[in-house]
Amino acid sequence: MILSYFRTGVTATRHAKLASALIALALPFLISPAQAQRAPAPAQRAAASGQAQAMLLETAGKWQAFSSQQGRSKVCYALSKAESRTPANLKDVEGMLFVSSRPTEGVRNEISLVLNFDLKEDVEHQAIIGNERFALVAKGQNMWLKNPAEEGRMLDALRKGASLEVKGMSKRGNPTSDKYSLAGLNQIVKRAEDACK
């Protein structure tokens, strides 16, 4: 079970950096071949600088499992991109949902989101899966469960659900909504879990 902690200050900054690192590692697998030709892949830059690279483990539905290791630190995660987003002016940046494990830190199946636009930090955001609602908090462009003790319950809801809607508010005060398909989540989360045993 993940220890409860308040995700602000140093802890939130550390999680935001981790989310950015996960995106950088996974990006070569998420972009189209045309996009890849326009810019050097982060994995290529990481290899040149001696940083860890993500390894794609499996794809199912809208989900992908990855693992990455640098020294003794191993990270395994399931990742999906938002299928739709409102308002329309935010469609150029994609939201991403992660379920990650970091064994050396004692973290298993931590749920986090990277929306790729600045979020209002002093309000409660929501994750909606069927009839279940979960309170989210934001720091910068990142979101986590307000109550980390609910991660097991939310993961159960994700496993049983068909879709997830994340309702938030931009830093400017505009309401936002991202929708994720949960098809393939069970298989991919299990694959990421197994990779980090």
Q: What is the DSSP letter of 141?
A: T
72 vs 27, residue with greater confidence: 72
| Rounded CA separation 162/160 (Å) | 7
Predicted pLDDT of residue 103: 93
Predicted pLDDT of residue 54: 87
Residue range 139-150: mean pLDDT, rounded: 94
Residue range 24-45: mean pLDDT, rounded: 37
The reply to whether 2 falls in a domain is no
**Kind of pairing between the strands at 175-181 and 96-102:** unpaired
The reply to whether 113 falls in a domain is yes
115: Cβ–Cβ under 8 A, 6 or more apart, which residues?
Answer: 93, 95, 141, 142, 143, 166, 168, 176, 178
- Residues 87-99: pLDDT tens digits? 877 767 789 999 9
The reply to whether 3 falls in a domain is no
Entry pTM: 0.76
- CATH number for the domain including 135? 2.60.40.1880
Predicted pLDDT of residue 72: 85
Residue 157's alpha-carbon distances to 122, 146, 179, 182, in angstroms, are 26, 16, 15, 10
| Domain housing 32 | 9-195
Predicted pLDDT of residue 21: 55
The reply to whether 1 falls in a domain is no
- Residues 35-44: pLDDT tens digits? 333 233 333 3
Residue range 170-179: mean pLDDT, rounded: 94
Q: Which residues of 104-136 are buried (b: 16+ CB within 10 A; e: fewer)?
A: eeebbbbbbbbbbbebbeeeebebbbeebebeb
Residue 22's alpha-carbon distances to 10, 50, 58, in angstroms, are 18, 16, 16
Bridge partners of residue 142, in order along the sequence: 114, 139
Confidence of residue 29 (pLDDT cuts 50, 70, 90): very low
pLDDT exceeds cutoff 70 at 10: no
The reply to whether 4 falls in a domain is no
The reply to whether 14 falls in a domain is yes
Predicted pLDDT of residue 93: 78
- Count structural domains, the chain: 1
SS3 23: helix
Average pLDDT in the chain? 80
Confidence of residue 22 (pLDDT cuts 50, 70, 90): low
Predicted pLDDT of residue 9: 43
Predicted pLDDT of residue 26: 55
The reply to whether 150 falls in a domain is yes
The reply to whether 125 falls in a domain is yes
